Every structure is written in structure tokens, then in C-alpha cells.
Amino acid sequence: MYRFKPELRIPGPVPVPNEVALQMAKPMINHRGAYFKEHYPAVLKRLAPLFGTTNQVHMITGSGTAGMEVAVSNLVSPGTPVLCLVGGFFGNRWADLCKAYGAKMHILEFPWDGGVDPEQVATYLKQHPEIELMFMVQNESSTAVLNDVESVAKARGNHSALLVVDAVSALGGTPCQMDAWGLDVVVSASQKCLMTPPGTAFVVFSPRAREYSDRCTASRYYMDLRRYEQYMEKSETPFTPNIHNVFALEEALSMIEAEGLENVFARHILMRDMMRAGARAVGLELLVKDEDASPTVTGIRFPNADSFRARIKKQYGVEFAGGQGIHANNIFRVGHMGYATPLDVLTALAVLEMDMKKYGQATQAAEQVMEA
């Protein structure tokens, strides 16, 4: 088998389109020069529709977790009562970050195979009027669950808690309507549905969150949002940014804009449905119910999943992701986000059915979804 054509089917980082990768080879420029000052704010403006916001998008050089830390370090003062909605590995990351900044912790746990229940959130908030901030994950990559962020935002009712959302593996693959849904902070990253290399995080604060952050006493420097705002006035970043990720993002956004955001979302739904139909057709159990299923990643129960993954990587060069936390070795996850097409889902299913010697069954079921 030819070994040098990687077939990455993991929930990020995702394959980068050639047009985008080529941008990474551009000559280096001065990040305080005219070209950057023109292109940097412009690309952030083009990102705003993906967030569903008219607020300023900020870019932080660092991975998605750096974006999450910008949110926490600008909001959580020592002793701030926070509620983390945890149904997987990345929900836990919010909790870990809040603990690191000395929050007074409240954690609502949800099973690691389903979504956050907005009713439980509403009940908890009624019992705890003191909670100031709530943290959740839109697309929990570890369980392949898409949480209903809009309903959780509504579940606050008259409660004043700010809602902070990790949209790292959601943004650009599934709708996010920050302003319309009343989200207060949204965080994302470059290496998932945005089809660009890792190394940049994006953060948006609502005016209410920004006002709240003025009262935050947490110690912060690189992550201090105020620095990013000050430098944004001159169309610059406070520190040397990941310049080439800006070029890459321009190209990736051109591709997304040419396809049309609604069509991008529809493609992700189609890939989700194909993947699920194919897995079911060969008798595999999906980790989550249809109503909770992520459009960008699918989790499939599989005994001894890690040896299966190693086998297909060696045999075909196809790479699936493993399970995390309680799902380690019990599931594998197939990423179908960003630069991914229905054909990529068919090839993922082809290696699955070949390994299981159920030739044609999964791909045929997926084809039927495609044709429906």
C-alpha cells in the first residue's frame, strides 16, 4: 500500500486544501506593515458571519485552548461562581481552566453519550442565582455530540449568567448565531471546519461580556483582551501573530463563501447522515442518538477500537481518532469537517466494511442517503 498519501479522518486538525496550503508559502511580511494592516482586520470581518455576530472577532496566536483561556482569564476572578456544563473531555477543559483561575466551581455533569439538557440547566440556575458565568461546548468532539446552545441560552430565562461557548469544532460546520441566540463569548480555532493549519484561536465577546470583563481581577498578560482591542485600533496585534494563518484563512474563507455557508452546513449534515447510515448497515452501534449527533464528527462503538485503528492506518493509510476519557479504546471517531466531502465518507466506510468483511454494505447504505 502506498504510504505517503495521508487520509486524515480525525476531528481536527483537518486536511488543508492545496489552495490554502499554498498561502503558507508566501514570503514573510512585516506584521506592522501596510499589507498586514489591510488584510488582518478584513479577514476577521469575513469571519464574523460564521459566528453570527456584528461584534469584533479577535485572533490569538495559539491553539483553541488559548482562546478558551482568553475567555476565562478575562472573566473569572478568584471566587467567581461559575457553572460548567460537562458532557465530555472538552467540557472538562472549561472546568479545569476555571479551577486554574480560582473560580467557585459548580459543575453539572451529563452522560458522555448525549447532549446537555437545557431543562436541568434552567433548574440549576433557579437554585443558584449567584452564578455569574456558564461554560459549555457546542460540539463536544470527544463524544461526537452537538449541543443545543440556543436552548441552553434560552434556559437562562431572567438569570443574568453570561454564557461562554466553545465552538472550536463547530464554527463553520454548523450554524452559530452568537447575537441572535444571546451568547456572550464564543471561541473557535483554525484547524477544524475552517480548513487552515493549527495555531490560531478566535474569540468574540458580546458588549455585555466585555463590560463584565472590565471588573475581572484575574492576572493576565498575553491573554488580556484589552491589549488586542488597543492594537486592533491600529489594525495590528499586540504580539507577533501567526501571519501565514491569516493568509490561509483568507483563502479558506473564499472557498467557504464561494460554496455558500448554508451549502457548507448542508454538506456537513449529509456527511453525518451518510456516516451514520453506513455504520448502522454493518451492525455497528453509534455512540449518540440521532437527535444529538454532530455534523462534524461521528463516534462509533467498537471493541478494541485502537487495534482496529492501527490496522487500518497500516493497511490503507486511513486515520481515525480514538476515544477519550471513559471512551478510550471503546470507540473510534471519524472526522468529517472542513475540507471533507461525501467521497471522503465513502472511503472511510469502505475501509470499515473491508476490515469487517462486509463488502459493499456500508458504502451502499451511505450512497442511498446521498441519492435521497
Ligand X SMILES: Cc1ncc(COP(=O)(O)O)c(C=O)c1O
Task: Compute the least distance from the CB of residue 191 to ligand X, in Å.
Answer: 6
- Nearest residue (CB) to ligand X, 10 versus 281: 10
Among 12, 52, 115, 299, binds ligand X (CB under 6 A): 12
Task: Compute the least distance from the CB of residue 160 to ligand X, in Å.
Answer: 26
Match 501567526 to its residue by C-alpha cell. Answer: 242
> Is residue 242 within the footprint of ligand X (CB under 6 A)?
no
> Is residue 166 within the footprint of ligand X (CB under 6 A)?
yes
* Dihedral sign, Cα of residue 32, residue 38, residue 41, residue 46: negative
Q: Which stretch binds ligand X (CB under 6 A): 59-67, 147-155, 308-316, 337-345?
A: 59-67
Task: Compute the least distance from the CB of residue 190 to ligand X, in Å.
Answer: 8
What residues are paired with 164 via a beta bridge?
A: 135, 185
Q: Return the CA Rg of the chain.
A: 21
- Nearest residue (CB) to ligand X, 97 versus 281: 97
Question: Exposed, middle or buried: residue 178 (CB in 10 Å: 0-12, 13-18, 19+)?
Answer: buried
- Nearest residue (CB) to ligand X, 109 versus 257: 109
* Conformational region of residue 33, where left means phi above 0, alpha means psi within -120 to 50, and beta covers everything else: beta
> Is residue 206 within the footprint of ligand X (CB under 6 A)?
no
> Is residue 188 within the footprint of ligand X (CB under 6 A)?
no
> Is residue 292 within the footprint of ligand X (CB under 6 A)?
no
* Conformational region of residue 12, where left means phi above 0, alpha means psi within -120 to 50, and beta covers everything else: left
Is the Cβ–Cβ distance between 194 and 200 less than 8 Å? no
Per DSSP, the three-state class of 79 is coil
Among 53, 55, 74, 141, binds ligand X (CB under 6 A): 141
Distance (Å, rounded) from C-alpha 149 to C-alpha 332?
A: 25
Task: Compute the least distance from the CB of residue 159 to ligand X, in Å.
Answer: 25
> Is residue 97 within the footprint of ligand X (CB under 6 A)?
no
3-state secondary structure 178-237: HHHHCCCEEEEECCCCCCCCCCEEEEEECHHHHHHHCCCCCCCCCCCHHHHHHHHCCCCC
* C-alpha cell, 369: 442517503
> Is residue 92 within the footprint of ligand X (CB under 6 A)?
no
- Nearest residue (CB) to ligand X, 64 versus 118: 64
Task: Compute the least distance from the CB of residue 264 to ligand X, in Å.
Answer: 18
- Please count the residues of this chain forming the interface with ligand X, following the rule CB under 6 A: 12
> Is residue 340 within the footprint of ligand X (CB under 6 A)?
no
Q: What are phi and psi of 134, to 5 degrees?
A: -130, 135
> Is residue 112 within the footprint of ligand X (CB under 6 A)?
no
- Nearest residue (CB) to ligand X, 141 versus 196: 141
Among 64, 87, 118, 172, binds ligand X (CB under 6 A): 64
Is the Cβ–Cβ distance between 89 and 98 less than 8 Å? no
> Is residue 51 within the footprint of ligand X (CB under 6 A)?
no
Q: Which stretch binds ligand X (CB under 6 A): 135-143, 324-332, 347-355, 363-371?
A: 135-143
Is the Cβ–Cβ distance between 61 and 241 less than 8 Å? yes
Which amino acid is present at 348? A
Among 23, 53, 55, 63, binds ligand X (CB under 6 A): 63
* C-alpha cell, 34: 501596510
Which spans of this chain sit near ligand X (rule: CB under 6 A)?
A: 12, 63-65, 90, 137, 139, 141, 166, 168-169, 189
